[in-house]
């Protein structure tokens, strides 16, 4: 993943902040998910009056991609902040890390946390979810 690709993902994730549906928390999150084939799927958080049905931006992006037949992913950029103002990194919640674990190699999948195209840090899924439980644990041989 080159510099230009990283910046494109950050820009697309930031672009999703305006789509975030957050009448309850006001905390807006945007994501941009890169497949190994080079396609990008975006996502935003979608809240709900009953609270628990709320879907995070990362899962929106994953579920859009998987529902289109994608199964192989390289990286995701996540941005977020109160009222869409990016004052710090918005790291994926535990549930979203687990969804990533289902489809991604934890040693290879890259998670880009950003506040702008100039300010970002990249982590592997393994760094954010050490010793995660995934499909490999259910393979019996």
Q: Does 25 bind ligand THU (CB under 6 A)?
A: yes
Q: Does 17 bind ligand THU (CB under 6 A)?
A: no
58 is catalytic: yes
Cα dihedral sign for 26, 95, 124, 103? Answer: negative
Q: What DSSP assignment string belongs to 89-113?
A: --PPPHHHHHHHHHHS-TTT-EEEE
User: Of the candidates 16, 32, 33, 47, which one interacts with ligand THU according to CB under 6 A?
Assistant: 47
Greatest pairwise CA separation for the chain in angstroms: 50
Q: Is 132 exposed, middle or buried (0-12, 13-18, 19+ CB in 10 A)?
A: middle
Q: Does 57 bind ligand THU (CB under 6 A)?
A: yes
Q: Does 92 bind ligand THU (CB under 6 A)?
A: yes
Q: Does 45 bind ligand THU (CB under 6 A)?
A: yes
Residues with a known catalytic role: 58
Residues in contact with ligand THU by CB under 6 A are: 22, 25, 27, 29, 45, 47, 54, 56-58, 92-93, 96
């Amino acid at each position: 993943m080159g510099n230009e690709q990283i910046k494109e993902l950050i820009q697309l994730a930031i672009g999703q902040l305006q789509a975030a549906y957050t009448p309850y928390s006001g905390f807006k999150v945007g994501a941009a998910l890169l497949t190994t084939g080079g396609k990008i799927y975006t996502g935003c958080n979608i809240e709900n009056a009953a609270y628990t049905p709320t879907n995070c931006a990362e899962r929106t992006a994953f579920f859009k991609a998987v529902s289109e037949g994608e199964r192989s992913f390289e990286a995701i950029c996540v941005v977020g902040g109160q009222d869409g103002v990016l004052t710090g990194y918005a790291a994926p919640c535990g549930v979203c890390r687990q969804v990533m674990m289902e489809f991604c190699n934890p040693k290879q999948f890259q998670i880009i946390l950003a506040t702008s195209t100039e300010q970002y840090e990249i982590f592997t899924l393994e760094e954010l979810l050490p010793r995660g439980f995934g499909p490999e644990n259910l393979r019996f041989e």
